[in-house]
Amino acid sequence: MRRLLYGLAGLAGLLALLEAVPRLGLVDERFLPPASRILGTLAGQLVTAELWLALGETVLGWALGLAIAFCLAVAAGVVIGIVPGLRAATHSTVEFLRPIPSVALVPLATLLYGPSLGSTLLLVVYASFWQVLIQVLYGVAAVDPVAYDTARSYGLSSWSRVRHLVWPTALPYVMTGLRLAAAVAFILAVTAELVIGSPGLGAEIQVAQNSGAVPTVYALIVLAGLVGIGVNAAVRLLERRVLSWHPAVRSEAGT
Query: For position 129, which CATH number holds?
Result: 1.10.3720.10
- The amino acid that residue 108 corresponds to is L
- Sequence-separated (6 or more) residues with CB below 8 Å from residue 215: 33, 37, 38, 40, 41
27 domain residue, yes or no? no
125 domain residue, yes or no? yes
Domain containing 61 equals: 49-254
Q: Are 165 and 146 in contact (CB under 8 A)?
A: no
44 domain residue, yes or no? no
| CA dihedral sign of residues 8, 12, 180, 120 | positive
85 domain residue, yes or no? yes
Q: How many residues does the chain have?
A: 255
- The amino acid that residue 237 corresponds to is L
Query: In 3D, which of 51, 177, 172, 196 has the Cα closest to residue 115?
Result: 196
Calculate helix-pair angle for 167-195, 201-210, nearest 10 degrees.
20
Q: Are 151 and 164 in contact (CB under 8 A)?
A: yes
Q: Are 186 and 47 in contact (CB under 8 A)?
A: no
The DSSP element (H or E) to which 180 belongs, if any, is helix 167-195
DSSP 63: H
162 domain residue, yes or no? yes
Domains held by the chain: number: 1
215 domain residue, yes or no? yes
33 domain residue, yes or no? no
87 domain residue, yes or no? yes
Query: Nearest 5°: phi and psi at 247?
Result: -60, -35
In this structure, the number of other CB atoms found within 10 A of the CB of residue 140 comes to 22
Q: What is the pLDDT along the chain (255 residues), one digit of tens a residue?
A: 787 788 788 888 888 988 898 888 888 888 889 989 999 999 999 999 999 999 999 999 999 999 999 999 999 999 998 888 888 888 888 889 888 888 889 888 888 888 888 999 999 999 999 999 999 999 998 888 888 888 888 888 888 888 888 888 899 999 999 999 999 999 999 999 999 988 899 999 999 999 988 999 999 999 999 999 899 989 999 988 888 876 655 455 554
In this structure, the number of other CB atoms found within 10 A of the CB of residue 60 comes to 16
Q: How far apart are CA 80 and CA 78, in angstroms?
A: 6
